[in-house]
């Protein structure tokens, strides 16, 4: 999710214990019968308390272990106030701040893509 001011929303995991403290891009699993886009909109409502409008895809498909694929979209908040419902913390980060976060392994390959998207060098 982008804020329109050169920042992306990062979410710090609170669970499971082995991933607690790592940062990720908000989202989640696709339920049976849902499209990727429908799942992302639902997950943002459940985990962040907001309704989002999706924009363009960001980066390529990335494998998550042997059980899934990470797909990322840009988006913006349409209604609601961001809340860390299922995360320890939410933070808007600039291109220069991206590298300072401890990203989940699945999200790390997106850091250079996000940096470029946000206008970083």
Output the domain CATH number for residue 40: 3.90.79.10
In a domain, 31, yes or no: yes
pLDDT tens per residue, range 28-47 = 899 999 999 999 999 999 99
In a domain, 45, yes or no: yes
In a domain, 50, yes or no: yes
Q: Which domain holds residue 54?
A: 7-117
> Which pLDDT tens digits describe the chain residue by residue (121 residues)?
888 788 999 999 999 999 999 999 998 899 999 999 999 999 999 999 999 999 988 888 888 877 788 888 888 999 999 999 999 999 999 999 999 999 999 889 889 988 988 887 6
In a domain, 41, yes or no: yes
Q: Are strands 68-79 and 51-64 parallel, antiparallel or unpaired?
A: antiparallel
In a domain, 68, yes or no: yes
In a domain, 2, yes or no: no
In a domain, 1, yes or no: no
In a domain, 18, yes or no: yes
What the block records as the tokens of 6 is: 């050169």
Query: What is the number of structural domains in the chain?
Result: 1
pTM of the model: 0.87
């Amino acid at each position: 999710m982008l804020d329109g001011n050169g920042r992306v929303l990062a979410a710090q995991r609170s669970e499971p214990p082995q991933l607690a403290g790592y940062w990720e891009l908000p989202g989640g699993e696709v339920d049976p019968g849902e499209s990727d886009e429908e799942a992302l909109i639902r997950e943002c409502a459940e985990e962040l308390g907001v309704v989002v409008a999706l924009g363009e895809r960001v980066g390529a498909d990335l494998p998550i272990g042997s059980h899934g694929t990470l797909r990322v979209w840009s988006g913006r908040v349409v209604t609601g106030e961001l809340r860390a419902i299922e995360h320890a913390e939410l933070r808007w980060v600039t291109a220069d701040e991206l590298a300072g976060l401890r990203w989940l392994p699945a999200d790390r390959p997106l850091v250079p893509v996000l940096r470029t998207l946000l206008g970083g060098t």
